[in-house]
Structure 1
Amino acid sequence: MVKPSAGPTTFEEVVMCRWLAYSGEPLKPAVLILDAQHSLVAQSLNSPLGAETVNGDGFGFGWYPEDAGNGNIPALFHSIEPAWHDENLRELTNAIASPLFFGHVRAAAGPPIQQSNCHPFRHENWLFMHNGFLDGFSVMKRDLAFAVDPELFPLIQGTTDTETLFYVALTMGLMDDPVAALGRALRFVEETGRKHGIRFPVQGTFAVSDGSRMWAFRYSTSQRSRSLFHSVAVPELREMFPDAARLELFGDHAKVVVSEPLNDMPGAFVEVPENTVAVLDDDGYRHEPFLSEAA
């Protein structure tokens, strides 16, 4: 595989994954993770739009409880099993309902296959996940680690570039302004990478949530980011497909962001453009420019 870098890339740094995020009326996650035509588990076996066809190096599932009485702290389930092979995932995603959840399947080419390296990552009421990689992470790792707030650094449990990026973004104000903070963090990664001779340090799509809102980013230094889509509003979908009984499972405010469309219904999913953040909240969707200025 040819990677978009002129710098000292190592094989261990390449991670390609698939993910989805849902917000809206409480929904059994199995509807999207297991049962959809091209569900996340189906994508773990066959990912036509992914850099890796099979994503079997563990998975993660993060969800906010239907009752937010716990301060809206999300729960996590991580496993190093392939998603298609884990009966606990089926049991769990059919037993609960959640108004906002993340799902992620992993294809790891180097960082250890262990639970602490599975997405999504959590800090207080925040969830974060990523599809792609930070090119040259092994040579940047020390610089990025020193950029993390000393009070946050002990909370890093795994060895992935994604978790390190999450804590750099937290240090730079993610909990106050997710869009600005992730932008600052990615610019810092690019500056750091170029000091080490890495031409295209950032590749990926990113999802962030505080439990009530969700932000989905598509950005790469090379301007050739991983694929990212979101669903059309459910009332509009019902008009487009009046005979689609499956749409009855979703409330009017249901919103899905995905690495790949979950079905083959024409027009059901809209591609998120390069250098864009899709903001999902009670008002629906909106697209905003993200790091569209030259670095």
Structure 2
Amino acid sequence: MCRWLAYSGSRVGLDDLLYKPVNSLVMQSKHSRLGVETTNGDGFGVGWYGNDPIPGVYYSTEPAWHDRNLRELSSHASAERVFAHIRATTGTAVQQTNCHPFRYGRWLWMHNGLIANFPTVKRDLALAVDPALFPLIEGSTDSELFFYLALTFGLQQDPRAAVATAVELIEGTGRRHGIEHPLQMTVATTNGEATWAFRYSSEGHSRTLFHNTDVATLRVQYPDNPMLHGLSDDTRIVVSEPLGDLQGAWQEIPESTCVVVQGGEADLFPFVPAPG
């Protein structure tokens, strides 16, 4: 399906996230170790926060490993909060408006997974989007529609509750259409100040998701590792699969969990759909 990362912490060059790690996101676009597909070549997107509260975004339909402009941008741009996503389409077109992360105001959103039998449930779900938001949907993916459902249900005020309500609607709609497992998701969203990441699926067998071990702890364990000394103590990375093989550096996020990253804290909460 897809691979993604959500970074926050000390200012970092985009190439330090996208190219330099042993299992970087660009490497995963060709050789994913834990994804459903080994190759994720149906486009790429990166969002980052600079001096403006509205994040910058870059999208391409090129495979990440083949995009010269992405390499050039990554060697010059840096940020303290970065979202990046490599896409493997589940059936919708390969086009820039279908690339993640999606943006609404200061919010970014990205998704790995799918709404099952999306063409069957698409109309019902689209009608639930706030009419004021609906014209802003640019692409044709289930992921973008999911984002606008969450916005409709109050993402900007309470992300955990809004995503739970959107998931309840998606599952309820799918099951009315006879779909046994309507949703598979790892999702990340941010307003530039905090990140919320979710691991959930209707079948209880979700796509992989990890977060890094506390950097201060890793420095004690690996005092001679120069990479760790370049990171601030509040550095947090949530990823579809680890960026490297450093023993103890990555913790798997449990099923049906929401991770809230703010400051240097990464707090885990149970995640269940809102009651219908």
Q: Which TM-score bucket, shorter chain as reference?
A: over 0.9
- Equivalent residues of 2:168, 2:275 under 8 A apart: no
TM-score, with structure 2 as normaliser? 0.98
1:129-168 aligned within 5 A: 129-168=110-149
Specify the alignment match of 1:19 in structure 2. 4
SS at match of 1:230: strand
**C-alpha separation in 2, matches of 1:161 and 1:58:** 16
Specify the alignment match of 1:7 in structure 2. none
Compute the displacement of 1:292 (Å): 7.2
Specify the alignment match of 1:58 in structure 2. 43
1:259-278 aligned within 5 A: 259-278=240-259
- Please give the per-residue CA displacement for 1:54-99, whole angstroms capped at 9, x wherever unaligned: 001110001111x2xx3x1011100000000111111111211111
- Equivalent residues of 2:165, 2:274 under 8 A apart: no
Identify unmatched segments of 5+ residues in structure 1. Answer: 1-15
**Among 225, 240, 246, which residue is 2:206 paired with?**
225
1:182-193 aligned within 5 A: 182-193=163-174
Specify the alignment match of 1:3 in structure 2. none
State the AA in 2 paired with 1:246: M
State the AA in 1 paired with 2:121: M
State the AA in 1 paired with 2:17: L
SS at match of 2:29: helix
Compute the displacement of 1:29 (Å): 1.6
How many percent of aligned residue pairs carry the same amino acid? 50
SS at match of 1:197: coil
SS at match of 2:111: strand
**C-alpha separation in 2, matches of 1:168 and 1:293:** 14
Number of aligned residues: 276
- Equivalent residues of 1:216, 1:279 under 8 A apart: yes
Specify the alignment match of 2:88 in structure 1. 107
Question: Are 2:103 and 1:122 aligned?
Answer: yes
- Please give the per-residue CA displacement for 1:5-26, whole angstroms capped at 9, x wherever unaligned: xxxxxxxxxxx10000100121
**C-alpha separation in 1, matches of 2:98 and 2:273:** 30
1:170-181 aligned within 5 A: 170-181=151-162
**C-alpha separation in 2, matches of 1:74 and 1:283:** 21
Compute the displacement of 1:164 (Å): 0.3
Worse-matched range after superposition: 157-166 or 249-258: 249-258
Worse-matched range after superposition: 284-293 or 102-111: 284-293
Identify unmatched segments of 5+ residues in structure 2. Answer: none
Compute the displacement of 1:283 (Å): 4.3
- Please give the per-residue CA displacement for 1:153-206, whole angstroms capped at 9, x wherever unaligned: 000000000000000110000000000000000110000001100011110100
**C-alpha separation in 2, matches of 1:262 and 1:202:** 26
Q: 1:34 to 1:187 in 2, by over 3 A?
A: same
- Equivalent residues of 1:275, 1:292 under 8 A apart: no
State the AA in 1 paired with 2:40: N
- Equivalent residues of 2:45, 2:101 under 8 A apart: yes
Compute the displacement of 1:132 (Å): 0.5
Q: 1:291 to 1:138 in 2, by over 3 A?
A: same
SS at match of 1:166: helix
State the AA in 1 paired with 2:12: L
Show structure 1 runs of 4+ deviating over 3 A: 292-295
SS at match of 2:88: strand
SS at match of 2:178: coil
Q: 1:213 to 1:262 in 2, by over 3 A?
A: same
**C-alpha separation in 2, matches of 1:249 and 1:138:** 47
Compute the displacement of 1:294 (Å): 8.5
Question: Are 2:79 and 1:94 aligned?
Answer: no
**C-alpha separation in 2, matches of 1:94 and 1:284:** 29
